[in-house]
């Protein structure tokens, strides 16, 4: 994989110096969060070359380990210092934290530390500062607070996930990735879904329901042909041959 191909995949213009903020936003507008390989029984292996081929050459998306794994490669190719961190997602249904290594997030240390995440279904558009005032994005207020040795990401005061500062490598998430692909109670086994950022919020397709979310509210409408919507709205075509 070459850097120029990845930059072209996310629509970064030639001749423009990449910045963390620009790359983060472009990635979320162009590379969807999606779990269709899991729903079709296609194994996901946390191998960097396979992830880059899927995202760049096959123009697919993926779930957090793939999306943030690929983004880690991109940022490191540009010389940015990236730390790979493990998070637990807050379940609003169970009112409990998820498994260890439930989610992968990134920290980039520049003039200050930034939380970076292009692999969350309901993610923030721009990197979030570790310290300072809450960040208002697209009508939602994102903040990070400290709690019991973790940092907790919040949207409008409600927890989304928590993480520590222990650094890991991609391979450390393999067991959790296998769990999400194979466990009967895994969300990824139960629901076919995709999500992309939009200028005003997010668009998602889950179990045949098109969901458009902005700070003003959420609209849901059933679709007759999910395969066509995955293709036309999210750029996803799954080859199961």
| 166 has pLDDT over 60 | yes
pLDDT band at 240 (very low <50, low <70, confident <90, very high): low
pLDDT digits (tens, 9 = 90+) for 57-111: 999 999 999 999 999 999 999 999 999 999 999 998 889 999 999 999 999 999 9
Task: List the strands of the sheet with 217-222, edge to edge.
Answer: 33-34, 193-198, 201-206, 209-214, 217-222
What was the pLDDT predicted at 239? 74
pLDDT digits (tens, 9 = 90+) for 170-209: 999 999 999 999 999 999 999 999 999 999 899 999 999 9
Q: Which CATH architecture has domain 3-189?
A: 2-Layer Sandwich (3.30)
* 219 Cβ neighbours under 8 A, 6+ residues apart: 211, 212
Nearest CA to 28 among 238, 224, 234? 234
Nearest CA to 29 among 47, 9, 13? 9
Residues 28-49, mean pLDDT to the nearest whole number: 96
pLDDT band at 210 (very low <50, low <70, confident <90, very high): very high
Nearest CA to 56 among 77, 38, 41, 42? 77
In the three-class reduction of DSSP (H, G, I as helix; E, B as strand; rest coil), residue 168 is classed as: strand
Domain ranges of the chain: 3-189
Whole-number Å distance between alpha carbons of 66 and 62: 6
What was the pLDDT predicted at 19? 96
pLDDT digits (tens, 9 = 90+) for 111-142: 999 999 999 998 999 999 988 789 999 989 99
């Amino acid at each position: 994989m070459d850097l120029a191909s990845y930059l072209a995949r996310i629509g970064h213009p030639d001749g423009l110096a990449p910045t963390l903020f620009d790359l983060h936003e472009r990635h979320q507008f162009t590379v969807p969060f999606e779990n269709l390989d899991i729903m079709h029984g296609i194994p996901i292996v946390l191998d960097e070359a396979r992830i880059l081929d899927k995202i760049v050459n096959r123009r697919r998306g993926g779930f957090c380990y793939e999306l943030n794994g690929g983004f880690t490669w991109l940022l490191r190719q540009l010389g940015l210092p990236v730390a790979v961190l493990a998070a637990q997602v807050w379940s609003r249904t169970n009112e409990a934290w998820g498994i260890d290594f439930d989610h992968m997030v990134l920290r980039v240390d520049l003039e200050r530390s930034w939380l970076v995440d292009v692999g969350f279904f309901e993610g923030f558009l721009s990197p979030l500062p570790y310290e300072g005032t809450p960040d208002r994005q697209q009508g939602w207020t994102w903040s990070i607070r400290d709690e019991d040795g973790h940092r907790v990401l919040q949207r409008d005061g409600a927890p989304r996930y928590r993480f520590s500062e222990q650094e890991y490598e991609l391979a450390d998430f393999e067991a959790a990735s296998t769990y999400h692909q194979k466990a009967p109670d895994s969300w990824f086994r139960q629901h076919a879904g995709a999500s992309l950022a939009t200028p005003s919020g997010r668009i998602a397709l889950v179990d045949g329901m098109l969901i458009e979310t902005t700070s003003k509210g959420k609209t849901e409408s059933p679709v007759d042909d999910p395969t066509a919507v995955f293709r036309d709205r999210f750029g996803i075509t799954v080859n199961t041959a």
